[in-house]
Structure 1
């Protein structure tokens, strides 16, 4: 099943790259789709493509959406490019979404900034608990990674377990994985898949991508 999906993602990415090579202007949603595909492929090659597309967009003065940047951050983390992930994350305006919250935790984990990580979780659990203030939501999967990281440091483990309990009591833990959070699309938005399928049908006669970003 995964090999079939990988082929589908690869084909979709080739279509997007050919659009780029033919100077078809990317919209904000197109960048989201491109970065999401790169994230799903999760390879050094797809990371390079994502990085190139992002840098080209920034040079042109285009504004990338928070969602597109989240996919770029997640891909960088999956490729152990922590410094790149930190750089991209630092440029996200209003990083207050559930995806940003959990990506920030993963950044702390992979950067080994454990005390800052515990402080971040503490502030989320013990901060303003007014029902009128939007609370940070954490993925159970991500919190499990935190526990695994601090399990050999008794003081941090004890503090984490205390915070973990508070987060559960205040309803700030979701069973959705980070991948599910990243890929969630509100129902009222148009299907990117439908748009992509239309592009693929109309461009079946494309020449080989020998001058595409894949060759860089």
Structure 2
């Protein structure tokens, strides 16, 4: 007898301030801030959500437990569900829970997709939220297009009514570089009135930053302005993306305004953005002051010294070329290099990082039967 199952088992552009600078400030600025050059040749897939949110490992562990359980059934469970769908029978929660923990291939996903549509058609009260479960399954099997198509289907509005499903789908598309589709997910979420979480703001601003178009800039600033008007908490990471996007769009004034909304700007991202803003606004002397303070401060041995991106320093050097502060810029950059406070990580590298999540608690050995029992 089948029982119900729950949710289981800038590369270095040039040597700074070299005698002959052939590249214009505008040209270098484009290289620093344009995503195509920043990401050229990189293959790493960077997520904006932590494992605490995606919970892929937890999902896979539960799949293993369910797999152990369904092996004792007569016949292949997915085939049994497929036959049930062909007979146009209703799909119940217990069936769907087991099915979504049993799929291993694209063919299996066809059955799962048909099953969730059948379930959504015949169920008006969803006691269990299946949205995140289906999206995590898509995540595991690399079915981001299926996830995007399903979650944006108006007929599945009630099935996907939680922020987690939208956030994971957006993160999936972000890692694949499908930024247009990721933005469509954000727009759908907004249109349906699904409440934005802190993770949503990070994903939305990050996606707009990657797109780097006038339209994505308008959407990003509109989301920030609306959230501020409602006193909603906006993460520092989201603000940082918005600042970088404003700089890409050459809106230094807006970038400064957004930057000053960040409560703590002592991070590497914050300090690099600040120097970049000052360089672009022509305030070279103040930029030198910030760099000098970071170099001269007596940092404790257990505290990592501030690091500045080579690309940001290159732009500052070029901006100060033939100006009154050129020698000061050369000197402080040389000192930073000698102190190992210059990094080849790009600003994009710093912005597109995967949060570490919460520290994992020591794992306690559990029996499979106990795991299954907890979710049936």
The normalised TM-score by structure 1 is 0.80
State the Cα distance separating 1:131 from its structure 2 match: 2.1
For 2:188, the equivalent position in structure 1 comes to 18
CA deviation string 1:66-91 (max 9, x = no partner): 10000000000110111111011001
Structure having the larger proportion of residues in helix: 1
State the Cα distance separating 1:24 from its structure 2 match: 0.3
For 2:240, the equivalent position in structure 1 comes to 70
State the Cα distance separating 1:186 from its structure 2 match: 3.5
For 1:171, the equivalent position in structure 2 comes to 340
SS of match in other structure, 1:30: helix
Which residues of structure 1 form unaligned runs of 5+?
190-216
Point out 4+ residue stretches in structure 1 off by more than 4 angstroms. none
Pairing partner for 2:283 from 91, 98, 113: 113
For 2:222, the equivalent position in structure 1 comes to 52
SS of match in other structure, 1:104: helix
CA deviation string 1:72-129 (max 9, x = no partner): 0000011011111101100101111111111001100111111111111111111224
Which residues of structure 2 form unaligned runs of 5+?
1-35, 37-173, 359-376
1:180 aligned onto 2:349: yes
1:125 aligned onto 2:327: no
Q: Distance in 2 between matches of 1:38 and 1:68?
A: 11
CA deviation string 1:26-78 (max 9, x = no partner): 11011100000000000111000001111111122111111000000000011
Q: Which segment drifts farther, 7-16 or 39-48?
A: 7-16
Please identify the structure whose Cα radius of gyration is greater: 2
For 2:253, the equivalent position in structure 1 comes to 83
Number of matched pairs: 186
Q: Distance in 2 between matches of 1:150 and 1:131?
A: 33
Aligned-CA RMSD value: 2.0
The normalised TM-score by structure 2 is 0.47
Structure of greater relative contact order (alpha carbons < 8 Å, 6+ residues apart): 2
Distance 1:9 1:129, change over 3 A: same
Q: Distance in 1 between matches of 2:275 and 2:244?
A: 11
